[in-house]
Amino acid sequence: MSKMHLDDSVIPHTDVAKCTPRIGAEIANIKLSADLPDQTIAAINRLVLEHKVIFFRDQGHLDDAEQERFALRFGKLSLYPEGTTPIFDMDSAVRDIQADVWHIDWSCMDAYPKIAVLRGVLIPPIGGDTVWSNTAAAYLDLPLPLQRLADDLWAVHSFPGAYKRPSAEALIRPRIETEHPVVRVHPETGERTLVLGSYVAGFVGVPKHNGHRLLDLFESHVTAQENTVRWKWKQGDVAIWDNRATMHCATKDYGDQRRVVRRATIEGEVPVSVDGRYSVARSKFIQPAPAPAAKVV
């Protein structure tokens, strides 16, 4: 992908501080809101594509309604089985949040989210960081024979009950299952990115035991330290990431302390493999009609 250039009059280069050489940037001097000019929203989107995940400190003015309105500037908001409203509340005091494994948000669906906007509401004094990985860089790190193997492989992504996180929910929840290419072509950047994570139940045409080893092999590149960025949350922080080019994992190391973050996701596209084939939904989630966008009085 050619290097993206931003108009310094929109977001000055000096306000963009890279977190690591391969992934992550902290953006200064922007107050996020739904009323930002179109060119600022476009610049934020370009920064997400370039850095994969971007961070904003001191956004305590955002509430659920304004987070929802801001997220709408990037596309249609998505609803998923974990909740019935566009803002999903991940509160450690209310539910067991199973985000402490490497995953792509809702990759069990055919058109899983393209962008996520996560806001820190209540952050424990110690622990609770989130780690993201650049799956485009991880693909490029694969030796050429492994790249070719990955290009040809397809994986079954399933919820609930993917083998890395067996779940009692499998007895009560309808199954959502999709065959994805292990390598998708990013629709905006043209990069090849790995589509893996905790929803993977196996590889098409590969025995389960061998599939486990393959997944561990590929994910060892995804989770390599040089491909990752770790964010230490503060209350009022906002993270925005490209869910098509990253995997992430929340560290569950805060004991009995309470942690609350709230997320909005933007509907994505059906992935396309390197040979032009689309992901295939085996069993789809029927998405309810979204509630009207929140109004600011």
**Are the CB atoms for 176 and 108 separated by under 8 Å?**
yes
Domain assignment present for 295: no
The predicted model gives 79-85 an average pLDDT of 73
Domain assignment present for 291: no
Domain assignment present for 7: no
Per residue in 27-70, pLDDT (tens digit) is 999 999 999 999 999 999 999 999 999 999 999 999 999 999 99
The predicted model gives 251-269 an average pLDDT of 96
**Are the CB atoms for 52 and 227 separated by under 8 Å?**
no
Per residue in 178-224, pLDDT (tens digit) is 999 999 999 999 999 999 999 999 999 999 999 999 999 999 999 99
Please state, in angstroms and rounded to a whole number, the distance separating the CA atoms of residues 254 and 183. 34
Domain count, the chain: 1
User: Which of 239, 244, 250 is CA-nearest to residue 27?
Assistant: 239
Domain assignment present for 1: no
Whether 237 has a pLDDT exceeding 80, the answer reads: yes
Please list the active-site residues: 103, 105, 248, 263
Domain assignment present for 2: no
Domain assignment present for 22: yes
Domain assignment present for 73: yes
The predicted model gives 245-260 an average pLDDT of 95
- pLDDT reported for residue 80: 73
Residue type, 76: K
Residues of the domain holding 161: 13-283
Strand order in the sheet with 88-91: 16-18, 25-27, 53-56, 238-242, 115-122, 260-266, 88-91
Whether 162 has a pLDDT exceeding 80, the answer reads: no
- pLDDT reported for residue 8: 74
Domain assignment present for 5: no
Per residue in 88-117, pLDDT (tens digit) is 999 999 876 677 899 999 999 999 999 999
**Are the CB atoms for 51 and 280 separated by under 8 Å?**
no
Give phi and psi for 238, each to the nearest 5: -130, 135
Residue type, 289: A
- The CATH number assigned to the domain holding 257 equals 3.60.130.10
Exposed, middle or buried, 52 (CB in 10 Å: 0-12/13-18/19+)? buried
